[in-house]
Structure 1
């Protein structure tokens, strides 16, 4: 188990060496070294060195190791007459504490020959046995007295006695090859750095181009949809803009490709868990984050999420979907810059929208209060997209104030609902004491009565959607067709809503035109006078109905609804005509209502309207909000 450290060919055995074959082999290696441009081409060079040294000394196998920054020697390539062994060599590491064979090569900087390598204490014997090594020659690659690598040579599973010539040839060739390998490694590193610099330069150029195009987009007044489309083209990926509530604001595909509905699901993540995680991180770091795919949540794509920030607060998110190539630093840079540009654009749009909303609200206020020059109102209306000579309804809503955030949000929500249901982009709104007013356009070619009833239905549904507790009272004006009409309509609807509030009537939607004579009396009579009038006329009948479970009041309602016709009333109630006549006679006997007199029926209609608004009077004649029964809708048919 002897190991022999061989003398340098400079001092011994020179006559035995045919240097022509060595220089011929080195010439080929040097030629390949000049072509190295990448780590892969370095491996090709090392493979050539291994093959040529084996050919020079008639060896069957070798492996080439290079020194790494950790001081150990890592396997690079191998050569074997039996086939490629690179994959088996690359995981190996030489020079560890137990590897005294390699340590001796490094210390002496000369070839070391180990015979019976499977049992020599200096070798890694398990490795020797696994590779069936008998004798092994370790030849250092030395540059400036530093071992930069080692070539391990053996005759496969056969013993071999190395001649002096073979040993000196191996050392001479290794000395020459070491310089070529060192220079090739430096050239590869330089080429790699050059490639990195070139990529970084290209990235900077692309980022600068993206910055310029996005800046031009904002300066030219492009909207959010166009900016998102530009980002999709720049990134070559689908891009979405989401609000801070993760609601889609804009979506685009590269090169104007069709937008897939599944992207919206993927952007939000069918379950909110991953998105919430990203949102928390984005809010905390104010930087972008990449979400992994989540196929079980309906999200097969990775997502680059960039926050849109205003004064440090997240107001939305720019989401880029990964549909193939992984995200790069350039994608992140463009995404974050795009989020900033989009934030500026959205902020500008919000300011413009707020200014337009303020101008429209101020215009509606001037229209409702009157006293303004008519031509001026016409001109302002045309600028704001409002035709003051087209038919409109003034919708006066009381019971909420837009002075607080909740009231303002309620008004905005109501306006959006009414605009959508009316097929409009927007409707005019303004605040008034105790509530707000909405100006609702009507179709030009539509019967006024039908249009007003349809408007009442839309307003009723919208109010239920935004305030289902019935705390809002609403009065809708007659049709307005000129500036003077709006001021009159506002005055009348305001008085009617004030009357409803005095009567503690909530949750009603009334058309002024349906209120009949009550519309006139409400402006001249007090609440107590109207209540006294209704009580005197109806309390005897209501008392009778409560005590006897009678139907006198309901019969009178049906009688009025059917034009005072006994036959039609009996048919509607499902009773005999004589039953109706008997009930009407009882009404005449118990109260001051005379069903045969028109004036009395008019009084009856007014009294019923009063109790529909305020509730049924108590038996003692005192009606208060606490004792009143819920008011009935004014336009409902009664039988």
Structure 2
């Protein structure tokens, strides 16, 4: 054997050894992208004449071969998309045979039929070369299925590839196909395992949540079955959610909490700034939906409204300082709100029953009749003190909360005055009316006034948008004097506003000479005189649809000012003057 032949044989043996090493490396790798990179690198190693190469893999969604890796090309080569049968790679993919193209004209004969856009992209990516001088290509086939194709090229020299090179590339392509299939199987199995683990985690999470939900329902059901107080409800909810719990009524009064707290209202509780918390409470009341707030760090507040139909009766608030509240916590808060709603409604029913009972007692006392019963007798012992209270809104307050605030005012009045002796407190025509016996007590005692001031201050703290006003009568010596005293006190509250006085508690006798006007206005004779005098005016307004009497009333309210009355009535001052003249004529 000549030296040249021996050298050729040794070169082929070395390349075969390199092919074996590359094939082993491919089959040992399970990362698909790493395998794709190693395929072309291995081809360049076993084919010394190779200057560039492209690895195409078939994309079932595009029904085309796409570039997965390239060596010796500009990045624009990755824009190539080749149909099966198109170009060198497409032909090898379709025929499933390795091919050699020793000369440029042979390469051109196959590539020339490709899409013009692909030819332009190839030329730009190859640095201006339209067709390589020589090339070989081999399909990646596994068990008869073509996975892609590999093309190795030389841009500048023809006839650089030999039949042995085709065999080497074909063998490398088959090893690469096996490695790609293994990697895809491994990736699919790994993905399935991850999905299975995620599914198992989700199942465990759902199971844990279900167990917690059952524990929540069992624990809260005991509160209902055993008729436990609100404090027990708060304690159990705190144990379930690992959060601090506050139960409040609609006026933000704390009705129960899981631990001892000096706060009597939510405003005083250490949860969040009141300017931030109060709007959320109002939004929860309006929407009857849960609200969340994260004041700081990992701390989270969950507000669940206690609702009954369209009305919000209060709130359940969870204050989690070191964890985020989940769906189970949210459901537990809603369940607790339903239990609290039933409790609040029951309390209201009892309260309204008591209010009606007191109202009956009050009505009989105002009529001069003493109800039967020892308590009623004690409360009706003359002399008596009569107090009339009402609410006044601050600014442009929405008045839908007035009934609830009025009931609170009733409870506060009862609570404060009861400390000073037996008292009957009830609602009458939108006013709080209290009758308290002064028998056996020193004359001129100011304790009741101080108690009423405390009640007014307390109501201001609970409902800042409302103010309580109390009119306190002098001692009433006989039961028959209660009715006129009650009427006079109600008129005194109205007069107090006309006089611009702002104190929450005042004695009716402090109005001085104005009290004589009230007493005169309360008499039946003066009422008869007014009706007789104004009969023609009333008849005129009824027949003509005019507003003479209303204009006169506004004129008096405006301090006998024609311009001020015109502004209030939104008419010209001459109109007011004409109406007053016409009234005087009638």
TM-score, normalised to structure 2, is 0.52
In the other structure, the counterpart of 2:446 is 449
1:94 is the counterpart of 2:72: no
Say if 1:417 and 1:462, in contact at 8 Å, map to a contact too.
Answer: yes
Q: Choose the corresponding residue for 2:517, options 598, 602, 611.
A: 611
SS of residue matched to 1:174: helix
Shift of 1:146: 2.6
Relative to structure 1, the CA distance from residue 225 to residue 372 in structure 2 (aligned partners, 3 Å threshold; closer, same or farther) is: same
Say if 1:474 and 1:497, in contact at 8 Å, map to a contact too.
Answer: no
Relative to structure 1, the CA distance from residue 412 to residue 348 in structure 2 (aligned partners, 3 Å threshold; closer, same or farther) is: same
Q: Distance in 2 between matches of 1:66 and 1:56?
A: 21
1:131 is the counterpart of 2:122: no
Q: List per-residue Cα deviations over 1:293-330 (Å, max 9, x = no partner).
A: xxxxx9999x9x99999999999999999xxxxxxxxx
Say if 1:410 and 1:466, in contact at 8 Å, map to a contact too.
Answer: no
Q: Distance in 2 between matches of 1:150 and 1:429?
A: 100
Q: Distance in 2 between matches of 1:501 and 1:263?
A: 36
Relative to structure 1, the CA distance from residue 180 to residue 511 in structure 2 (aligned partners, 3 Å threshold; closer, same or farther) is: closer
In the other structure, the counterpart of 2:339 is 348
Q: Distance in 1 between matches of 2:19 and 2:174?
A: 11
Pairwise CA RMSD: 7.0
In the other structure, the counterpart of 2:45 is 55
Relative to structure 1, the CA distance from residue 610 to residue 42 in structure 2 (aligned partners, 3 Å threshold; closer, same or farther) is: farther
Relative to structure 1, the CA distance from residue 318 to residue 161 in structure 2 (aligned partners, 3 Å threshold; closer, same or farther) is: farther
Q: List per-residue Cα deviations over 1:562-589 (Å, max 9, x = no partner).
A: xxxxxxxxxxxxxxxxxxxxxxxxxxxx
SS of residue matched to 1:147: strand
Relative to structure 1, the CA distance from residue 353 to residue 160 in structure 2 (aligned partners, 3 Å threshold; closer, same or farther) is: farther
In the other structure, the counterpart of 2:146 is 147
Q: Distance in 2 between matches of 1:313 and 1:196?
A: 46
Q: Distance in 2 between matches of 1:173 and 1:306?
A: 67
Q: Choose the corresponding residue for 2:98, options 94, 100, 111.
A: 111
Unpaired runs of 5+ residues, structure 2, are 1-11, 221-231, 251-269, 362-370, 376-384, 393-397, 417-422, 436-443, 532-551, 560-586
In the other structure, the counterpart of 2:403 is 411
Q: Distance in 2 between matches of 1:109 and 1:263?
A: 77
Relative to structure 1, the CA distance from residue 413 to residue 186 in structure 2 (aligned partners, 3 Å threshold; closer, same or farther) is: farther
Relative to structure 1, the CA distance from residue 335 to residue 145 in structure 2 (aligned partners, 3 Å threshold; closer, same or farther) is: same
In the other structure, the counterpart of 2:507 is 514
Shift of 1:407: 7.9
TM-score, normalised to structure 1, is 0.48
Number of equivalenced pairs = 438
Unpaired runs of 5+ residues, structure 1, are 1-15, 234-239, 245-258, 270-274, 277-281, 291-297, 322-330, 375-392, 401-405, 441-446, 480-487, 517-556, 558-604, 632-639
Shift of 1:497: 3.6
Q: List per-residue Cα deviations over 1:104-136 (Å, max 9, x = no partner).
A: 233212335566579953353323432336455
Shift of 1:448: 6.1
Q: Distance in 2 between matches of 1:264 and 1:54?
A: 72
Say if 2:55 and 2:150, in contact at 8 Å, map to a contact too.
Answer: yes
SS of residue matched to 2:97: coil
Shift of 1:71: 1.9
Q: List per-residue Cα deviations over 1:42-99 (Å, max 9, x = no partner).
A: 212222333223222233554434323332334444567xxxx9x9489645225995
Relative to structure 1, the CA distance from residue 413 to residue 399 in structure 2 (aligned partners, 3 Å threshold; closer, same or farther) is: closer
In the other structure, the counterpart of 2:184 is 185
Shift of 1:195: 0.4
In the other structure, the counterpart of 1:256 is none
Shift of 1:409: 2.8
Q: Distance in 1 between matches of 2:87 and 2:304?
A: 57
Say if 1:398 and 1:474, in contact at 8 Å, map to a contact too.
Answer: yes
Shift of 1:172: 1.4
Alignment of 1:474-553 (within 5 A): 475=471, 496-499=485-488, 514-515=507-508
Q: List per-residue Cα deviations over 1:255-306 (Å, max 9, x = no partner).
A: xxxx99699969999xxxxx99xxxxx99xx9x999xxxxxxx9999x9x99
Relative to structure 1, the CA distance from residue 507 to residue 614 in structure 2 (aligned partners, 3 Å threshold; closer, same or farther) is: farther
Q: Distance in 1 between matches of 2:303 and 2:372?
A: 52
